[in-house]
Amino acid sequence: MGVGITMLLGLEAATLFMGFTYLRNRGFMLPAIPVLYASLVSFLVAIAAHPSINLPILLGKGTDGRFPIWSLIMFSPYLYFVRLFSALRRLRSGEAPYSEISEGLYVGGWPYSLDKLPPGNPAIIDSTCEFPRIMELSGHAYFCIPTWDTRSPQPAEIESAVKWACRKRAQKIPVFVHCAYGHGRSVAVMCALLVALGPAEDWKNAEKLIQERRPCIQMNALHSKALEEWSKHRLSSPAKNKKLV
């Protein structure tokens, strides 16, 4: 999404509310109610996704990558909207579902089917808070750092994901890092992973390396800030980081 999720969903909430007002004024109160509800859900998510609040736990996505029933019901207007939006965007863009950045390291979009997954039974790092882990991926090693679209994982979350991925690579297991499209959240994690494993000297060089293989990436200021903070922490703990890799 080219604009921040708060702005996008704020506009959606306003549009839906105008639709509700129109239907109510025309006397169509029954169909107006779900439109009002969808507007309120969009507004709530827009607030929760604001960088000053940043509460992805709102959607209730579990550590296993699945959503509880209450979340699927309560936030259905948003959860199914993003899936439809994602399907239409992928169809229009024609982008590759994933790209191999270095040997055994892949970055890409949400694997909604097995054919969107890299080869080699990879371990999966999921950086989305809005997409579920499909049942077909139950046998894959999985690590989730739920993050809003157009936002960035926190430095501590990036560090946790890097440590987990390094352990998998030590076992010769491929690692696939994904977000919605493989443009931002997943790229931030991959930048840190490339630094930790050695193919890149710093996250900026890692970003260039990724862009050579996946030109569609779109990291923003939030991703850069998180990676800068992660890098400072890493440099301040050299002994700890030697053990990491």
Q: Are residues 237 and 137 in the same domain?
A: yes
Q: Are residues 54 and 124 in the same domain?
A: no
Q: Are residues 57 and 105 in the same domain?
A: no
Amino acid at position 210, single letter? I
Q: What does pLDDT average to over the chain? A: 94
Contact 9, 49 (CB under 8 A): yes
Residue range 1-46, pLDDT digits in tens = 446 899 999 999 999 999 999 999 999 999 999 999 999 999 999 9
Domain-embedded: residue 92:
no
Q: Are residues 81 and 108 in the same domain?
A: no
Q: Are residues 184 and 238 in the same domain?
A: yes
Q: Quote the CA–CA distance of 230 and 10 in Å, as a whole number.
A: 30
Q: Are residues 178 and 82 in the same domain?
A: no
Strands of 123-126's sheet in order across: 98-102, 105-108, 175-178, 123-126, 142-144
Given phi > 0 = left and psi -120 to 50 = alpha, else beta, which region is 120? Answer: left
Q: pTM to 2 decimals?
A: 0.92
Say if residue 239 is exposed, middle or buried (CB neighbours under 10 Å; 0-12, 13-18, 19+).
exposed
Binned at pLDDT 50, 70 and 90, residue 236 comes out as confident
State the angle between helix axes of 185-197 and 155-170 in degrees (0 to 180), rounded to the nearest 10: 50
Domain-embedded: residue 135:
yes
Q: What are phi and psi of 28, to 5 degrees?
A: -95, 70
Give the CATH number for residue 176: 3.90.190.10
Residue range 172-230, pLDDT digits in tens = 999 999 999 999 999 999 999 999 999 999 999 999 999 999 999 999 999 999 999 99
Coil vs helix vs strand at 62: coil
Domain-embedded: residue 132:
yes
